[in-house]
Amino acid sequence: MMVGLPDEREEDLEELVRFSLELGAIHPTALGIAPFVPKFNTPMIGSGFAGIKVVEKRLKYLQKALRGKVDVRATSARWAYWLNRLLRSEIRGYSVGK
């Protein structure tokens, strides 16, 4: 799952919680959640990163709502921020690897 998509709404997260709880009641469930980071050669390359505070708030909401019922494994919002910065520097012509 991804959080922080450009058109993401609160209702989307609520739906994810409802679905995850239903699934978790039937079978042990773990969610891998990563913040959205636009990547090269994708239609979303022009989209922005939601920001550390926004992503952390959404991740905390999911962790709290699913605590004890669904295992939430989330990628750090800070890690996603720096990945976004590195990718953006590559886009502007700065090579990170040189």
Whether 14 shows a pLDDT value over 60: the answer reads yes
- DSSP line for 29-80: -EEEEEE----TTSTTTTPPP--HHHHHHHHHHHHHHHTTTSEEEE--HHHH
Averaged pLDDT, 63-92:
91
What's the whole-number mean pLDDT along residues 55-68?
Answer: 97
pLDDT confidence bin for 7, thresholds 50/70/90: very high
What's the pLDDT score for residue 95?
53
Q: Where are the domains of the chain?
A: 2-91
Confidence of residue 94 (pLDDT cuts 50, 70, 90): low
Q: What percent of the chain has pLDDT over 90?
A: 77
Q: How far apart are CA 50 and CA 9, in angstroms?
A: 12
